[in-house]
Amino acid sequence: MPTVHTSLHCLARTWNINAALSTRGMQETGLLYVLEPGLRELYPLASTRSVAFARYAEHTNTHPFLLPLYAGILLSLEEQIACGLLPPHLLDSVKKAAPTTLSAIGDALFSGSLLPMWALGSIILVLAHLPQWALGISLVLVLVLTLFRALSFFIGLRQSMRALQWLRTLNVIDWVERIKLVNALLLAVLLCQLVPVPLVEWQQYTLGLAVLAGVAWCIGRRYLRRIWLIGIALLLVILYNQ
């Protein structure tokens, strides 16, 4: 396994993965930049090192928050290849399947759930004249994300492909569903802040929550197209204003 110094060097470079993003190779150059310190240590000879570098001269793209896990897995596999325990062609199947899988998980968990929850919560706190709470929670979340990235990198480095099984045990899809329910409640709170209603009219709050829950159920369980729901909402607004 690469030394601690080299491993930390690779981990630090994962924050710059999208600095060299291109429309043709996507994260191709960035991924090689991340792996370069580890590959130099694993392949001291220039001839074998150039062959290792060439393995990553192709299109690749995954979610940046799960890139450390992917990089750790690749370094672990490269170590086994350097020791003669694995043939290099086995990397091809990993590079085709793993980035897509991790990208889908990252988009659902981070981009589609946690980031909206942070944004809604921060807006609610700012509108409630509590910006210090919004700032404090944001700093804590950045720290948690940093720890998650570091932990996932070293799990990938130590466990290789078994790290994907660890990721599976987190039940990401179940957490995504729960977080989206929380986001629906936060959205209801935000709407109440933007359009204040006297607290005595609690029926309107209940009706709003019921409508949001019904819309979420129609989309998630009945696969009702969102454009239809938007059309129904516009029709009700027009009829209400008549």
Domain ranges within the chain, ordered by starting residue? 4-174, 200-242
- Token readout for 157 is 């480095």
Distance (Å, whole) CA 235 – CA 241: 10
What pLDDT score was predicted for residue 163?
84
Average pLDDT, the chain: 84
Q: With bands split at pLDDT 50, 70 and 90, how would you rate the model's confidence at 202?
A: low
- Average pLDDT rounded to a whole number, residues 39-67: 88
- Average pLDDT rounded to a whole number, residues 176-199: 78
Q: With bands split at pLDDT 50, 70 and 90, how would you rate the model's confidence at 160?
A: confident
What pLDDT score was predicted for residue 213?
74
- Average pLDDT rounded to a whole number, residues 127-156: 93
* The pLDDT of residue 200 is above 60: no
Range of lowest pLDDT (178-182, 187-191, 204-208): 204-208
SS3 (DSSP) at 26: strand
Q: What is the largest CA-CA distance in the chain?
A: 79
Tell me: the pLDDT tens digits for 94-141? 888 888 888 888 888 888 889 999 999 999 999 889 999 999 999 999
- Average pLDDT rounded to a whole number, residues 182-211: 72
What pLDDT score was predicted for residue 84?
82
In the chain, where does DSSP find H-type helix? 4-13, 28-42, 46-54, 67-82, 90-106, 115-127, 131-159, 162-169, 172-194, 202-220, 226-240
Encode 140-166: b = buried (16+ Cβ within 10 Å), e = exposed: ebeeeeeeebbebbbbbbeebeebbee
**Among 49, 40, 96, which residue's Cα sits nearest to residue 70?**
96
- Backbone dihedral angles phi then psi of residue 64, each to the nearest 5 degrees: -60, -30
* Structure-derived torsion over alpha carbons of residues 60, 8, 54, 165, reported in degrees to the nearest 10: -50
* The pLDDT of residue 216 is above 90: no
Neighbour-count burial of 9, counting CB atoms closer than 10 A to its CB (0-12 exposed, 13-18 middle, 19+ buried): middle
What pLDDT score was predicted for residue 226?
67
Tell me: the pLDDT tens digits for 6-49? 889 999 999 988 888 788 888 888 888 999 999 998 888 888 88
